[in-house]
């Protein structure tokens, strides 16, 4: 698994030494042709978007846009009631571009999650949906049939 490091210059802050406790899965919500990981890197590096993620994953690439030791702006500032926020989590965006292969994108995401679980000693129960942090319906592509896509993806993880 190759991770391309293309760091953005906006939309992140120091983690200030906070422990990484969670991996949060999102999808981009952008099914347009060409809306792959590289396109999202360019978008978030182009201006202050007031949002970001550590990684963008498509059917061919994994691009890291924010260092793990920094906080990307993907799930909230810590004021929410669920205890998951930017400074204690890593955000992964699954690209859902219509010209990509969603099955391959999920395989790449799965590999990345397993790698990050090992790297940061995060157990399966702390790999969560954006929904678990904020109740936003995200990753939307996994939300149909009572989140069956999410539960299938999550069942393939192990500690």
* Superfamily of structural domain 4-155: Peptidoglycan recognition protein-like (3.40.80.10)
Average model confidence (pLDDT) for the chain? 95
**pLDDT tens-digit series, residues 11-34:** 999 999 899 999 999 999 999 999
CA distance 142 to 38: 22
Residue 25 main-chain phi, psi, to 5 deg? -100, 130
CA distance 114 to 41: 22
Give me the pLDDT at residue 78, please.
64
Kindly report whether the global pTM for this prediction surpasses the value 0.85: yes
Residue 127 main-chain phi, psi, to 5 deg? -100, 110
How many CB atoms neighbour CB 102 within 10 A?
Answer: 18
């Amino acid at each position: 698994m190759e991770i391309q490091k293309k760091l953005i210059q906006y939309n992140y802050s120091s983690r200030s030494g906070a422990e990484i406790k969670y991996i949060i899965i999102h999808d981009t919500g952008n099914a347009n042709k060409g809306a792959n990981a590289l396109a999202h890197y360019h978008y978030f590096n182009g201006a202050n978007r007031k949002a970001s993620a550590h990684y963008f994953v498509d059917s061919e690439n994994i691009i890291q846009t924010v260092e793990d030791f920094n906080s990307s702006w993907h799930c909230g500032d810590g004021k929410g009631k669920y205890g998951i926020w930017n400074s204690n989590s890593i955000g992964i965006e699954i690209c859902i571009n219509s010209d990509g292969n969603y099955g391959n994108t999920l395989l790449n995401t799965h590999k990345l999650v397993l790698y990050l679980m090992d790297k940061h000693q995060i157990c399966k129960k702390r790999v969560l949906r954006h929904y678990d942090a904020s109740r936003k319906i995200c990753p939307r592509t996994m939300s149909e049939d009572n989140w069956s896509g999410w539960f299938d993806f999550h069942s393939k993880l192990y500690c």
